[in-house]
Structure formats: C-alpha cells, structure tokens
Structure 1
Amino acid sequence: MARYTGPVCKLCRREGVKLFLKGDKCMTHCTLERRSSKPGQHGSGRSRKESGYAKQLREKQRVRRTYGILERQFHKHFDAAARRPGKTSENLLQILEMRLDNLVYRLGFADSRAQARQLVCHGHFAVNGRKTDIPSFIAKPNDVITVRERSKGLEYFKARALLLAQKGVPAWLSLDTNEMSGRVITVPSRADLELPFDEQMVVEYYQR
C-alpha cells in the first residue's frame, strides 16, 4: 500500500493550516505554531500573490493530505464522485468520509487517520462480520464496523475501550462501546462535516 512516509508537520507548514495529521498531539505539540514559514530554503521569503490555479491546487492538496491519500487514489475518488448524481464536490467528501480508515478514526478507535489506516491493514477490523483490511473500502449506510474478537484482547484496544466513552462521534455514526463496534447510520451531508475546505475549488482544479 503506497503512503506518505515523510514528516507530517512539514505538510501542515506547506499548507499553512493545521491538518491534525497526528491527532490529539497536534493540540499540544504543533510545529506550525512555532515555525509558520513554509518548508524549504525559500519558505521564509516574501510570498507572491497566488494565481487562481495555485489556489485550486493548494485546496486540493489540503483535502488530499488531510485524508492521507496519494494523488492516484484521490483522482480515482474524484472520478467516482463525478459519475454520481448530485454535486461532485459533496459526493467527493462523502466518499472520503465513508472510507474504512476514516470511519475507524471518526469512531475513535484511532487518534489519527494514519494510525487508523495501519490498524485496518493489520486486520483488526471487520465490516458486517467479515475481516476487512483494505483502508480504501467504501462503507454504506447500516454497515457495522467491529474490532475483531482476536484483537479485543490486545493492550491497545483494552486501553482504547476506556477512552471511547469520553469521545463523541458524529451524528451520522453510532458507537457501541461495550461491543467495540460502530454503525454507519447514513451518508453524511456537507452540513454534518465541519471541514475547513472549499471543496468546489477541488472540482475546478480537475475540470480546468
């Protein structure tokens, strides 16, 4: 599985916003707050006015890096969103949110999407009772994501079970802390997602 393996704080500095790629650590140990300049030898120089294309590119990169997806996979998700009825921009966010790695993160089983992706790849989760180790698996309403029985005895999930009760989940998901499982109630609408993106610029980037 291809993934970004470089320093994630550099990505936040490049985009100029917190992407919360380290989960809760970003609240207390944020490199962006100490070094707000862009990475590289020209990062601290005078910034130039961005063109329309540059703004679209930056917005696309913010969305892609927030969800931890490389360009090829992200473009596939965009093509799938464009083929669906409705607004392509909203369809794209819904596809990204319904990925299994994102659902594991949203349900509180992981502190970040990167950690959630690793847990999924290691086979710790089942969807509707079937082991699923593909992070890009797209769930549907009423799908149930469960920590597998063999994984519940691990120290990580024992500690996580104590934390789940303190974490809330989005309204379009439900969580059963006793069973260590979550259910997709419905596909989220744009109003359900508090994301600092202008996803329409992503559409404009690919349709230019």
Structure 2
Amino acid sequence: MAGVGLPLLMRFRRALADAVFAAWLGAGRAAEPTLSLALPDIDTPLQRALGERSPDLVPAPEGGWDAFVLAALEKAVTALREEHGGRPVDQIPWGAVSRVRIAHPLGRAPELAARLNMPDEPLPGCGFCVRLATRTLGASERLVVAPGHEPDGILHMPAGQSGDPLSPHYRDQQRAWVDGRPLPLLSGPAARTLTLVPERR
C-alpha cells in the first residue's frame, strides 16, 4: 500500500507541535481559544525544543519528555484511527488522507456537481514535498522549459484550459495533473479551429 506510515508521521508531527507550543500559547489561548501558531516553518523550533527538552515546555512534567512524546504519538494514532473507521494505522495509505477536491462555486448544487467539479480522488504529495499538495492547496500548473528547448518543455494544470464546462477542454488535463504525467508544452498540430466573427449590426 503506497504511502503507509506517512499519515501517522504527519499527524504525530502536528500533535507534537500542538503540545510543545501549548506552553507558549497558553496565556493567549485563555483570551482567544482559537489562537494557533502559524509559522511558515514549525519544524525548526519544534526540533530545537525536542532536542533541548526543557522541563518548562512539558505540560505533564511527572512523566518527563519520553512520556510526553509517547502521549503525543498515542493521541495521533487514536485520532487517525477514528477518522478512518477504526482501521489500523498500517492500513491507512497516504491517498486516504491526501485527496484532491477541486470544486466549482456552483458545483455545490447536487444537480451540477458531476458536471462542474473534478473527481474527489487520492493525490500524491504533501505540504512539505516538491509536489506540493494539501486538501486546500496545490500546484496551479507545473511548467518546465529551457530557452531554446521548448519542444522538450512540459506543462500541465489541474482540470483543463477551458473555463466552459461544455468544452472538451474543461477537464481534459486533470488525469495527467493528478498522475504527475508530463504533457508537452508545445501544442502540436491543430486539432480544431475556432473562428471569431464580428457581430452584424
């Protein structure tokens, strides 16, 4: 099963960060319960705190840091299993956690959802990968090209290049984007021609 272990690792990281930084955010959370630590890189201060093991940061000092870390791991395991119907964590692949959900604003209407929204499916990558992907954030396009080597360039984007749901190009690039399969940058021979004619008055 691809990506087994990564869901637990990511959840454990989050549980550790929440617990370690709770001491720093305690007074602020008393005034504003939704306060969270939004750093672009939480790993650097988290690793430093875990490396130094300051007794001031352990919420339950009687067990020390080892018990503290183990409690965070157990919390991560419990939460992950609850979210996935009690499945053992070694049977939860990354694709069960990381999914692509691209929805058109009008796609909330059930009768329009199938035509306007892209399929809800597993997506490789994460917020720390070269192939950036989270539930709400992903690459709007992937482009690789060098000047003078345009025929070797690649480009792909989610959905397709047309914003018209009736167009065959509304979703024709979605599969390649999800699979990470490169498409040629250059368009190749014309398959269709559109002629714009001015309105007669």
Normalising by structure 1, what TM-score? 0.25
The structure with more radius of gyration: 2
Normalising by structure 2, what TM-score? 0.26
Q: Which structure ranks higher in relative contact order (CA pairs < 8 Å, sequence separation ≥ 6)?
A: 1
